[in-house]
């Protein structure tokens, strides 16, 4: 056994230079592919206003929204919203300050159906001093702040994030634990799988399950999405999702299909978003319900 081990070690140390160069080329190619997939996914999320892109060091950014929702059998709803990431540099340390209202969390979970007309926001301060190589590492992030509503509500959040690359696929799991003064403790588990098709298309499969101490049950959604880049100023996303809860047992209570057209209409500041959708809620005996969302967005900073 000692001879075999010694022989193997000698063989590795005396590999032909061509083999070493080939190995180095493969490693460099893998690193380059991983980085390109990482940035392509990030650019898609950034253009479509995805919350996930806020985890990346893109600099300070402020997003202001005006939203309108119309659904069959319901009155027109309107809402304003804000989300900001402000990078503060002090003693060579960077922090990211985020303001995010309730609508943003509901949008992440595909729950844009029962939104209130009240506007609220939350403030977060999190470390953001990491480089692109962090896509190969586990990232632990802590957020704390105050949700700006009446009365103000303090909160804290701990997140664990990671990206893995398998060939052309990128797997992004994340685990989140949070606490709000009113709602108590909760946790959210996400698992996204990305697959760039070409320079204009990105396929994604999304999964999310969230539990809160206040409700004492899980809400979840799952489904595929396809993002299409039409130009530097226009894009379309196609989304199919099922959603449900775990009380009294795990079951699906809605199926939803939507198409979102997003366009930059003025410089790099103003976007519009048009989203026709159809869903089949259990509360309507799975009957078809049509709807339409409109969003006007002002971006200050880099998107």
Q: What's the CATH code of the domain at 46?
A: 2.40.160.40
Q: With 0.85 as the threshold, say if the pTM is over it.
A: no
| Count of the separate structural domains present in the chain | 1
Stretches in the chain below the pLDDT threshold 50: 1-13, 15, 19-20, 22-23, 25-27, 29-30, 33-34, 90-99, 102-106, 108-132, 134-135
Q: What is the pLDDT of residue 116?
A: 35
Does residue 90 belong to any structural domain of this protein?
yes
- 3 assigned to some structural domain: no
> Is there a domain that residue 234 lies in?
yes
pLDDT value at residue 139: 82
In a domain, 120, yes or no: yes
pLDDT at 229: 92
Phi, psi of 117 (to 5 degrees): -90, -5
Element (H, E) at 2: helix 2-13
pLDDT of residue 155: 83
Q: Indicate whether 4 belongs to any domain.
A: no
| HEC sequence for 4-51 | HHHHHHHHHHCCCHHHHHHHHHHHHHHHHHHHHHHHHHHHHHHHCCCH
Residue 245 lies in a domain: yes
Kindly compute the dihedral angle of the four CA atoms of residues 8, 10, 15, 16, in this order, to the nearest 10 degrees.
-140
228 in any annotated domain: yes
Structural domain contains residue 1:
no
Q: Which residue range(s) make up the domain with 123?
A: 18-301
Per-residue pLDDT reduced to its tens digit, 152-162: 778 888 989 88
Q: Strand 169-180 relative to strand 164-166: parallel, antiparallel, unpaired?
A: antiparallel
């Amino acid at each position: 056994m000692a001879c075999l081990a010694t022989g193997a070690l000698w063989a590795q140390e005396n590999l032909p230079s061509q083999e070493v160069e080939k190995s180095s080329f493969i490693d460099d190619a893998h690193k380059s592919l991983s980085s390109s997939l990482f940035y392509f996914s990030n650019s898609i999320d950034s253009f479509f206003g995805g919350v996930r892109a806020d985890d990346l060091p893109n600099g300070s950014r402020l997003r202001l929204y005006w939203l309108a929702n119309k659904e069959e059998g319901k009155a027109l709803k309107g809402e304003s919203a804000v989300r900001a990431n402000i990078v503060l540099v002090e003693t060579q340390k960077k922090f990211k300050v985020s303001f995010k209202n309730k609508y943003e969390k509901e949008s992440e979970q595909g729950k844009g159906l029962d939104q209130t007309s009240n506007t609220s926001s939350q403030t977060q301060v999190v470390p953001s001093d990491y480089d692109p190589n962090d896509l190969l590492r586990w990232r632990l992030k802590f957020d704390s702040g105050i949700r700006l509503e009446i009365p103000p509500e303090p909160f804290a959040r701990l997140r664990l994030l990671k990206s893995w690359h398998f060939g052309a696929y990128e797997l992004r799991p994340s685990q989140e634990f949070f606490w709000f003064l009113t709602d108590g403790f909760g946790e959210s588990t996400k698992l996204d799988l990305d697959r760039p098709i070409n320079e204009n298309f990105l396929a994604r499969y999304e999964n999310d399950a969230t539990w809160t101490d206040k409700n004492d049950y899980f809400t979840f959604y799952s489904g595929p999405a396809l993002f299409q880049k039409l130009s530097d100023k226009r894009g379309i996303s196609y989304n199919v999702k099922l959603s449900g809860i775990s009380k009294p047992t795990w079951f699906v209570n809605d199926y939803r299909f939507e198409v979102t057209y997003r366009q930059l209409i003025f410089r790099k500041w103003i976007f519009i978003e048009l989203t026709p959708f159809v869903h089949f809620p259990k509360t309507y005996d799975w009957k078809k319900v049509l709807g339409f969302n409109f969003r006007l967005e002002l971006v200050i900073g880099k998107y």
